A = this chain, B = another copy of it.
Amino acid sequence: MSPRATDAPQRVVAAAAEMLARVGLNATSIREVSKAAQAPLGSTYHHFPGGKQELLARATTLAGDRVDALLARLLAEGAGPGLQQFLQRWRERLLDSRFEAGCPVLAAAVEVPVDAHPSAARDAAAAVFARWEQRLGDALVQAGHAPAAAAAQATLIIASVEGAVAMCRATQDIAPFDRVAAQLLAMVEHRAS
Enumerate chain A interface residues (CB-CB to B < 8 A): 22-27, 102, 105-114, 122-123, 125-126, 129-130, 151-153, 155-156, 158-164, 166-167, 169-172, 175-176, 179-180, 182-183
Contact = CB atoms under 8 A, between A and B. Distances in A.
Nearest to A172: B126
Contact of A111 (B24, B125, B175): B24
Given A126-B172, A161-B163, A163-B163, A113 B27 contact: yes
Q: How many copies does the complex hold?
A: 2
Contact of A183 (B152, B176, B179): B152
B183 A153 contact: yes
Contacts of A130: 171
A109 B167 contact: yes
B110 A24 contact: yes
A164 B164 CA distance: 12
